[in-house]
A and B are shown apart, each in its own frame.
Chain A
Amino acid sequence: MKILRQTRAGSLESNDLMVVMKPLGDREGIKLEINSIVQNQYGDRIREVVTEVLKRNGIMDAYIMIQDRGALDCTIKARVETAIKRGL
């Protein structure tokens, strides 16, 4: 699956996150930037969750910026999935 246009999902409100996704060329891979209010404790976990959703949706090349405001895993998954669906 290919991300064809820049999209966004989510918000900067508490317990939410904002996802900005941009297309990248073939074989450019996944470029993932994560900013979180709980970066130190959960930065790696967020990366893991995001990567899993990308993989499940077959996204090989994309730039993703995450601004997390303390979201649960299920919210992170939902926002990333929404951004992907909007970008296909």
Chain B
Amino acid sequence: MFDTRIIDTASTKEMNCIKDLLNSQGLYLPAGAQYVIAVYNGSRLVGTGALVGKILQGIAVDSEFQGEGISAIIVTDLVNKALEIGRNHLFIFTKPKSSSLFQALGFKPVAASKPDVVLLEWGTQSIEKFKSGLRQISRDKPEASCIVVNCNPFSLGHKYIIEKASYESRWLYVIVVQEDKSLFPYEARIKLVAKGIGHLENVTVIPGGDYIISAATFPSYFTREADLARVHASLDIEVFTTHIAPALKINRRYVGEEPYCEVTNLYNMVMKNRLPKKGIQLIEVPRVENNGRPISASFIREKIKAGEIDHITELVPKSTLSYLKSSQAREVIERIVNSSSRH
């Protein structure tokens, strides 16, 4: 029989054993793993797994004990923990050869970026449900363009590219990244987007959910791990081209040029390479400039951090400015001032 124990992540001795097991299976300890479990056969460590946000990671079973149902024990424990803390929609990244193992436990493939990685999901939400929601939205709309934005916060640069896309398209979907890992919370970001483009009549604003630049499809977008970004970017685009674009009848995607961020730039390169092959036109729009420098959200945040809100009046629309000056924004601004994150 096997015993399952929760590992004290502060204990280097235990964590080292786990690292060794992971390394023996060609895996590494996931960054930010707070809930880590270990399965023992007597005193011998035979399996491990971790829960990071909504993703099951670092699942490994000692080669000698594979085929004894240990991965089912590990996944059950991690799923139970996730459900206990209210996470009902879970993901696993795995190598294509391990995909069937997790499918047998009820995980369903969302997309694959071959030969590196398959994304699988489990729970009360699914890509199929998300798509049927999108189909409801697109049912009475023509073929359309889309743009995916984070808007952290919404600037005149965003406004410009959305307006341009709106004029050039019969319909436009503005998909807002829903993952709450930016300094401006999702609720505030999507509200400012909606306010900033309220004058455009052929635009629908859509939350990105778990499938468009999310911790599930593109974790390194948030952790800025450039070495993983290429794989994740491909996966995210695979989800977009196989699921999102057909459901919304999208034949064109707009994207802003990326002069600063390596990961975003890489994402754009992947899109340039992949979208046309799937019959989706990619339009890369140069950034709008102000006083000879491209408007960027990170520059705006730097100014906010420096307490110079008055210096950004030429960079954001009135709606964003009045939000920043309102009491609602106090908490966010405080966070930006105290934060060392560029994101």
Residues of A within 8 A of B (CB): 6, 8, 11-14, 18, 20, 22, 33, 35, 37, 63, 65, 67, 69
Contact = CB atoms under 8 A, between A and B. Distances in A.
A20 B105 contact: no
Contact of B76 (A6, A12, A33, A63): A12
Nearest to A35: B106
Given A6-B86, A22-B88, A35-B108, 4 more contacts: A11-B73, A13-B69, A18-B76, A37-B106
Nearest to B88: A20
Contact of B69 (A14, A22, A33): A14
Interface string B106-131: 10100000000000001110000000
B72 A20 contact: no
A6 B84 CA distance: 9
A13 B69 CA distance: 7
20 contacts: A6-B83, A6-B86, A6-B88, A8-B84, A11-B73, A12-B72, A12-B105, A13-B73, A13-B76, A14-B72, A18-B76, A18-B79, A20-B88, A35-B108, A37-B104, A65-B123, A67-B105, A67-B122, A69-B72, A69-B104
A20 B76 contact: no
Contacts, number: 46
B80 interface: yes
Interface residues of B, number: 18
B263 interface: no
Contacts of B72: 11-14, 69
Contacts of A6: 83, 86, 88
Contacts of A67: 105-106, 122
Contact of B106 (A12, A14, A22): A12
Nearest to B80: A8
Nearest to B84: A8
A55 B106 CA distance: 26
Interface string B78-98: 011001101010000000000
B316 interface: no
Interface in B1-46: none
A6 B76 CA distance: 17
A69 B69 CA distance: 12
A28 to B, nearest CB: 15
Q: Which 5 A-B pairs have the closest CB atoms?
A: A67-B106, A11-B76, A13-B72, A12-B76, A12-B105
A71 B254 CA distance: 49
A22 B124 contact: yes
Nearest to A33: B124
A33 B108 CA distance: 14
A20 B88 CA distance: 9
Contacts of B88: 6, 20, 22
A13 B80 CA distance: 13
Nearest to A70: B104
Given A6-B83, A8-B83, A13-B69, A65 B124 contact: yes
B105 A69 contact: yes
Contact of B75 (A8, A12, A20, A33): A12
A20 B105 CA distance: 15
B69 to A, nearest CB: 6
Nearest to A31: B124
Nearest to B73: A13
A37 B107 CA distance: 11
